[in-house]
């Protein structure tokens, strides 16, 4: 049974100031078991040629897919990404991009999500797929 989106934050306790999505300026737009949507600015996330960095797209995709997996797996299981693939279709040089993650498969032990990233004009710039393993115990840090 999917977790209530309002309850998600009770299960996520990262160290303060260590969230990568905060550093990239990713802002959550909507959080729902059917779709998770967020925006990310191009400014601050460029590669040396002035284009949006492909790695920034990957961070946006994994963030959205992981949040969606968490909505389906928590509190019984803890999803962790095990495979991410990104295909970059179009360069983005200004504005922002919006990513939308939707489930392709949600099972007890794995889930797979498609993440579509579009520019401010609604043109697809990247398509990603994330597969998560749903662990029985919460991952730990250290040791």
Point out the residues that are catalytic. Answer: 62
Kindly state the tokens that stand for 136: 């029985």
């Amino acid at each position: 049974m999917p977790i209530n989106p309002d309850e998600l934050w009770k299960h996520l306790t990262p160290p303060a100031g260590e969230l990568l999505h905060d550093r990239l300026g990713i802002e959550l737009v909507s959080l729902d078991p059917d779709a998770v949507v967020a925006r990310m600015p191009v400014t601050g996330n460029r590669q040396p040629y002035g284009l949006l960095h492909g790695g920034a797209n990957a961070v946006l995709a994994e963030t959205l897919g992981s949040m969606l997996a968490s909505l389906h797996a928590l509190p019984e299981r803890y999803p962790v990404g095990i495979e991410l693939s990104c295909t970059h279709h179009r360069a983005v040089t200004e504005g922002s991009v919006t990513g939308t993650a939707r489930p392709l498969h949600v099972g007890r032990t794995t889930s797979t999500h498609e993440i579509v990233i579009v520019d401010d004009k609604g043109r697809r710039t990247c398509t990603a797929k994330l597969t998560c393993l749903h662990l029985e115990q919460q991952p730990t840090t250290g040791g």
